[in-house]
Chains A and B, each alone.
Chain A
Amino acid sequence: MSASILIVAEHDGTTLGAGTARCVACAATVAQAEITVVVCATDASAVARQAAALRGVHRVLTVEHPIHAHPLAAAIAPQIAALGGPYTHVLGPSSTFGKDLMPRIAALLDTAQVSDIMAVEGPHRFRRPIYAGNAIVTVEVPADTKVVGTVRTASFRAAGVGGTAQIEKIDAPVEPPSHTRFVSTSAAKSDRPDLQTAARVISGGRALGSAEAFQMLYQLADKLGAAVGASRAAVDAGYAPNELQVGQTGKIIAPELYVAIGISGAIQHLTGIKDARTIVAINKDPEAPIFEVADIGLVGDLFEIVPQIEKLL
């Protein structure tokens, strides 16, 4: 039996989110998958073109409605659920967008959800992390049941471009509710690479001691073309904004290079970096747990070492 997979696109109105190409890559590992991407937007044309260009995508559907100016799970879920009938799988990225939306879709479709798919073992069999990634469970969805899932984007390399899928505009299948309204966002715009897709990440912990000291890491990151991350302790103390948090309750990332500076390496933090290619740790405590997972460790005072590194680059 072939699989027909519906992927809910994440976007900001103009640009397709990086997680969607990774969902496509995940979907493409299901045997004989026919992949459809659905874009809910006010004007979906730009995002739909980007989705249609992803290799492996067979078809792009667009649902245009003024309520989709901002992604509201309460508005998107009933529309996707109404469209979802013919599909064997409905997937979305394991970003805050997908985590918010997909369970609402699953419940409307009266089916369970597989969260954080990290590997596909068969059309109905998946691996996912539990206990903050300290165990990996293989779960099976009954063969006659629709699969709704979120895709752990750090586990898949983005699908390439070069595809030429058909774009098809469809009418909003149901009228969305008005009980949920967007008010505002405050997103710090930065020119640095995006934490979730950056090849290199420089991360700081509680040891930095202040937001001023964190500036040192921004400078280092800029020299390396790296994104900046932070431990929860650093975010809680106000040294770094919350969107920089890496870990179980922050972002799960898989950069080529991860540099942990003044971070002890609590399991909740390590969950977020398990798939990094190379981990570097700088910590003054030789017993810090971060050294157990670091490929390259340097014991010493970050306030001496970081400026030295910067000079050497």
Chain B
Amino acid sequence: MMKRIVVGIKRVVDYNVRIRIKPDGSGVVLDGVKMSVNPFDEIALEEALRIKERAGAEEVVVATIGPSDCQAQLRTCLAMGADRALHVLSDAPTEPLTTARILLKLIEREQPFLVLLGKQAIDDDNGQTGQMLAALWQRPQATFASKIELGEGKAQVTREVDAGLETLEVDLPAVITVDLRLNEPRYVKLPEIMKAKKKPLETLPLESLGVAPGAHLTTVRVAAPPQRQKGIQVENAAALVATLKEKGLLTS
């Protein structure tokens, strides 16, 4: 059996874009906005490529669920070095539980020994898909990974937790979600972009997978957060300390 890694890729608003909220409060303006691969997913892909480069895997498959525009991001992933791309076509955004169900279908088909996802998508900031997938697949999960060491049939994963770092050992196959400090993704070079055009990209209609695109949550409204007001400027350290004392902020 081919030693394969599947990497989940989500197309999101580029992290440098200052988002705008639609005046009717129905959502965030996406028309004409720069879209990119979710930054955590780039890190997941980079890790998969490094594992393959040190002969820890034979094939890296990227998978996305989303509208046809997602192919641009999949091509970027192929240019980074992924071998193959799977695109499950869904015009409506899928919630994490549905996304996890769809990914599970792909996993049943691809039989990977490792599934790498981002720890969260920076649009909806849900942070759910990996854990849900692991639950449905009845396999181990290791979230917020900052180090992954593969062994025979198992992996040691260092996780960034509130208290510091935690190391788990998980049997493979497993789902690992990655944190920012795991690695620094490579830049794509021009010849790679050309080569990527010839790599296989398979589109699967959502209906063909037999997963109902169930929506569980409804969006009532999207609003801007309360804005903080710009405050005062002080001249020097003495004035700062005096102001803080006056406001009673230096003693509890």
Decide if A and B are genuine partners: yes
The interface on chain B, measured as residues whose beta carbon lies within 8 A of the other chain's beta carbons, has a size of 83
A267 surroundings in chain B (CB, below 8 A): 18
Pair B163/A243 contact, Cβ less than 8 Å: yes
A57 is an interface residue with CB less than 8 A from chain B: no
Pair A308/B237 contact, Cβ less than 8 Å: yes
Stretch from A1-9, A25-33, A41-49, A175-183 contacting the other chain: A175-183
Pair B170/A179 contact, Cβ less than 8 Å: yes
Pair A183/B167 contact, Cβ less than 8 Å: yes
B180 is an interface residue with CB less than 8 A from chain A: yes
B25-40 to A contact mask, C-beta < 8 Å, 1/0: 0001000000000000
B220 surroundings in chain A (CB, below 8 A): 125, 137-140
C-alpha gap A145/B69 in the complex (Å): 33
Stretch from B45-53, B79-87, B199-207, B221-229 contacting the other chain: B221-229
The A-B contact count (CB < 8 A) is 252
Given B95, B122, B134, B224, which contacts A112 in the complex, CB threshold below 8 Å?
B95
Pair A112/B217 contact, Cβ less than 8 Å: yes
Q: Chain A binding site: helix, strand, loop or mixed by DSSP? A: mixed
In the complex, the chain B residue whose C-beta lies closest to that of A178 is: B171
Given B166, B238, B249, which contacts A312 in the complex, CB threshold below 8 Å?
B238
C-alpha gap A131/B126 in the complex (Å): 10
Pair A74/B219 contact, Cβ less than 8 Å: no
Pair A131/B168 contact, Cβ less than 8 Å: no
C-alpha gap A77/B234 in the complex (Å): 51
Stretch from B57-65, B105-113, B139-147, B189-197 contacting the other chain: B139-147
B97 is an interface residue with CB less than 8 A from chain A: yes
Pair B160/A242 contact, Cβ less than 8 Å: yes
B96 surroundings in chain A (CB, below 8 A): 103, 112-113
Given B127, B136, B241, which contacts A99 in the complex, CB threshold below 8 Å?
B127
B114 to chain A, nearest CB (A): 14
C-alpha gap A291/B229 in the complex (Å): 10
C-alpha gap A229/B220 in the complex (Å): 35
B229 surroundings in chain A (CB, below 8 A): 295
Pair B237/A103 contact, Cβ less than 8 Å: no
Pair B140/A74 contact, Cβ less than 8 Å: yes
In the complex, the chain A residue whose C-beta lies closest to that of B166 is: A185
Given A141, A145, A200, A313, which contacts B241 in the complex, CB threshold below 8 Å?
A313
Pair B124/A186 contact, Cβ less than 8 Å: no
B188 is an interface residue with CB less than 8 A from chain A: no
B230 to chain A, nearest CB (A): 6
Given A107-B97, A113-B126, A130-B28, list of 16 further CB < 8 A pairs? A70-B166, A73-B131, A74-B140, A77-B135, A96-B162, A100-B141, A103-B128, A105-B135, A135-B21, A137-B222, A137-B223, A180-B142, A185-B167, A299-B233, A305-B236, A308-B236
What are 13 A-to-B residue pairs whose CB atoms are below 8 Å? A103-B129, A107-B133, A111-B216, A130-B28, A135-B19, A135-B21, A140-B217, A140-B218, A145-B216, A179-B170, A183-B169, A256-B249, A282-B240
